[in-house]
Structure 1
Amino acid sequence: MKKHKFSCKRGGLTIRGNLFQPEGENLPIAILSHGFMANQSTMKGYAQAAAELGFAAFTYDFCGGCLWGRSDGKTTDMSVLTEVEDLKAVIAYASSLSFTDESRIVLIGASQGGFVSALTAAQMGNKIERLVLFYPALCIPDDARKGQMMFAKFDPAEIPSVIRCGPMKLGHVYPEAVMEMDPFKEIAPYQGPVLIIHGSEDKIVDLSYAKRAREAYVQCQLRVVMGAGHGFSKKDDETAIPWMRDFLSESF
């Protein structure tokens, strides 16, 4: 397996990431999207597992989606919807390479990156072969309507132009983009196989969101890591990664 840096464009912004490339041609594509305030390094273990199965696996930093990221963009311009556009740009780039098979694309996302992957799959339909969601943050629209998103608190009736969320500054676009959204209605159009892996003790995204997503999808497996919270430990991944590997292996 080789590891390469790559970059692509979304409008005037540069997205930067890493490609984990196994030997061979016509490689299926796996694109891995990180969570809120995280960066692509948090997806490295999942990318390596996918590459070991024969996928060209791409990790990347969302534009404005990281405290310490390599991609362009301001955190105050970032929203779930801008991240959907980032993911589509990476999909287009990965599909354009001579050694990949653009007809076989898998999306893998964690937390907010899981929500973004689910929205993107719904919009792209049968162009996405499979979908893996680690503790997807389908709570984001509800949190926006409550005026409490992670460490940020605000009046949802009068959203300020800048919202302080711990060490990160968010713009008003972050809650506004999802304020009227029903996430389950948005993700439901995707008809392909879905695997959701969620922690039983998740205090950020309650397990009930994963259960509702399972009902929204046509074909969905929900696997629960007992005792796990939001963001898996190495021990949690020892359970989760084999589930992901088995699910992805079904596509071969």
Structure 2
Amino acid sequence: MMSPELEPLAIDHRGKILRGTLYMGNGPEVMLLCHGFGGTRTGPGRLFVEMARALQAEGTSVLTFDRIGHGESCGSLADVTIEDEIAQLCQMLGAGPARGRMVHVVGHSLGAMEAASLAARMPDRIASLTLLAPAAAIVDDVARGQIIGRSLGPIRAGGIVEHDGQAVAAPIVDSARTFDPYAGLRSYRGPVTLHHGTADRLVAPSYSERYAKLLPRATLHLHDGVDHDFADVALRRRIIAGVQMHTAVPEAA
């Protein structure tokens, strides 16, 4: 079996380079994959690689980027803000085959929260949404004095907290204090599929339940005993199959 065709992508975002991969398909549909906080464009446990290959095999072109401060892209995790990450997603909609087209979007964790906000702001560009454990919890966590399960004390004192050996600092905390993850969601009337594990210790399923109430065409799937990274082979196959159902529908539908 031949390896899938991959093309490197690079976007200049405010003087910093976003690096990505294009899985070029031979059909009209285009998908953007959005990783979580501290993750990379391969997704949790390479979920996005598996998803991109499956979609490419049936003709869909897939774009997946490392956001600033992640993976191979420029910058530091310490400089990340939510609004700038959404601005990066907006810019990704102009890359390669996504330019000028309706785009299907899949997001995981913080990437899912930001993907939903992207759809609320640019509903005419988003063909469908698949949200995996959207991490709107970050707003409530910061209000309670925490981030990624750690006290904000060191950050308040001008320092950092660590996440997988990387520095997390004031910018993302300050941005979370003023961010409304639910703003404008009712304006997006495309199809939305939500997945959330009942054993998710980072983001409670109640956050996906709230998204399901606000997004007019949302369908919510709760998965018993599944964690934040959807570490279940059979479930991943079902999630990918559901994403393929979105891309099988003509974008004008």
Q: How does 1:139-154 map to 2 (within 5 A)?
A: 139-154=137-152
Matched AA of 2:160 = I
* 1:247 maps onto 2:227 in alignment: no
Listed one character per residue, the Cα deviations across residues 144-199 of structure 1 (whole Å, up to 9, x for unaligned) are: 1112111431149x834442133221221101112133322353332221111111
Higher normalized strand content (fraction of residues): 1
**What is the Cα-based RMSD across aligned positions, in Å?**
2.0
Are the structure 2 counterparts of residues 132 and 108 from structure 1 closer, same or farther at C-alpha, using a change threshold of 3 Å?
A: same
Are the structure 2 counterparts of residues 160 and 236 from structure 1 closer, same or farther at C-alpha, using a change threshold of 3 Å?
A: farther
- Residue aligning to 1:164: 161
Q: Determine which of 89, 92, 117 is the counterpart of 2:91.
A: 89
* 1:190 maps onto 2:188 in alignment: yes
Within 2, Cα distance between the matches of 1:250 and 1:186? 25
- Residue aligning to 2:237: 238
Q: Determine which of 61, 64, 68 is the counterpart of 1:63.
A: 68
Listed one character per residue, the Cα deviations across residues 113-157 of structure 1 (whole Å, up to 9, x for unaligned) are: 11111111111121111111111111111111112111431149x
Matched AA of 1:63 = I
Are the structure 2 counterparts of residues 101 and 62 from structure 1 closer, same or farther at C-alpha, using a change threshold of 3 Å?
A: closer
Report the TM-score, using the length of structure 2 for normalisation: 0.88
Within 1, Cα distance between the matches of 2:85 and 2:158? 19
Partner-residue secondary structure (3-state), 2:123: helix
Are the structure 2 counterparts of residues 183 and 101 from structure 1 closer, same or farther at C-alpha, using a change threshold of 3 Å?
A: closer
- Aligned sequence identity (%): 24
Partner-residue secondary structure (3-state), 1:31: strand
Q: Is the 8 A contact 1:28 1:101 kept in 2?
A: no
Are the structure 2 counterparts of residues 101 and 88 from structure 1 closer, same or farther at C-alpha, using a change threshold of 3 Å?
A: closer
Q: Is the 8 A contact 1:122 1:190 kept in 2?
A: yes
Within 2, Cα distance between the matches of 1:80 and 1:187? 17
Give the total of aligned pairs: 242
Q: Which runs of 4+ in 1 moved over 6 A?
A: none
Q: Is the 8 A contact 2:152 2:161 kept in 1?
A: no
Within 1, Cα distance between the matches of 2:78 and 2:11? 21
Partner-residue secondary structure (3-state), 1:184: coil
Partner-residue secondary structure (3-state), 1:231: coil
Are the structure 2 counterparts of residues 49 and 224 from structure 1 closer, same or farther at C-alpha, using a change threshold of 3 Å?
A: farther
Q: Determine which of 2, 6, 25 is the counterpart of 1:3.
A: 6
Unaligned runs of 5+ in 2: none
Q: How does 1:72-221 map to 2 (within 5 A)?
A: 72-94=74-96, 97=97, 102-155=100-153, 159-166=156-163, 167-221=165-219
Q: Is the 8 A contact 1:76 1:162 kept in 2?
A: no
Within 2, Cα distance between the matches of 1:116 and 1:126? 16
Matched AA of 2:240 = I
